[in-house]
């Protein structure tokens, strides 16, 4: 009997969702490294420089374009497009961590990327806690 060559032969599409700071992007990167599947960070497609949002009426089109790929690992919430993403996924990972754990993850992320864009974001979106200005977290010297 012939064995399959790995996840690429199976058309694997992994969707990772969960609260901010839960580790979605970290898990997605780790899985992409192990499987060599294409990685899609939805934040890279949604956010525009200066933390400007993609207008809701424009967001579904880019997501639909990303979903047509035969294989991917996709991380991000964006509830307004779950109806598109869930049916296309072959595996859904929901990181359901306690609020305290996710908040600690968000704070660690902020401290790791102070004032600069994380690798899962586009340039022009420096590290911050959602809704909090990066300057609000600076510690005076």
- Does pLDDT of 129 surpass 60? no
- Name every residue whose Cβ is closer than 8 Å to that of residue 82 and which is 6 or more positions away in sequence: 17
Q: Which helix (H) or strand (E) holds 40?
A: strand 39-41
CA contacts within 13 A on the Cβ side of 71: 13
Residue 7: predicted pLDDT? 55
CB 54 within 8 A of CB 35: no
Q: Read off the DSSP letter of residue 135.
A: G
57-109 residue pLDDT tens: 999 999 999 999 999 999 998 889 999 999 999 999 998 877 776 666 666 66
Residue 126: predicted pLDDT? 64
30-55 residue pLDDT tens: 999 999 999 999 988 998 888 889 99
- Does pLDDT of 137 surpass 60? no
- Does pLDDT of 120 surpass 80? no
Residue 104: predicted pLDDT? 67
Residue 34: predicted pLDDT? 95
CATH superfamily of the domain spanning 9-137: P-loop containing nucleotide triphosphate hydrolases (3.40.50.300)
- Does pLDDT of 139 surpass 50? no
Domain parsing of the chain, residue ranges: 9-137
More confident of the two residues 70 and 130: 70
């Amino acid at each position: 009997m012939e064995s399959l060559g790995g996840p690429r032969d199976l058309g694997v599409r992994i969707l990772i969702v969960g609260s901010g700071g839960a580790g979605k992007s970290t898990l997605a990167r780790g899985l992409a490294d192990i499987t060599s599947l294409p990685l899609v960070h939805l934040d890279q497609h949604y956010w525009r420089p200066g933390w400007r949002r993609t207008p809701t009426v424009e967001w579904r089109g880019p997501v639909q374009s990303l979903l047509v790929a035969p294989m991917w690992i996709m991380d991000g919430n964006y509830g307004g497009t779950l109806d598109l993403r869930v049916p296309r996924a072959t595996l859904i990972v929901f990181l359901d961590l306690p609020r305290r754990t996710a908040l600690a993850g968000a704070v660690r992320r902020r401290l790791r990327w102070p004032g600069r864009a994380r690798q899962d974001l586009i340039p022009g979106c420096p590290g911050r806690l959602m809704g909090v200005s990066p300057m609000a977290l600076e510690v005076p010297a």
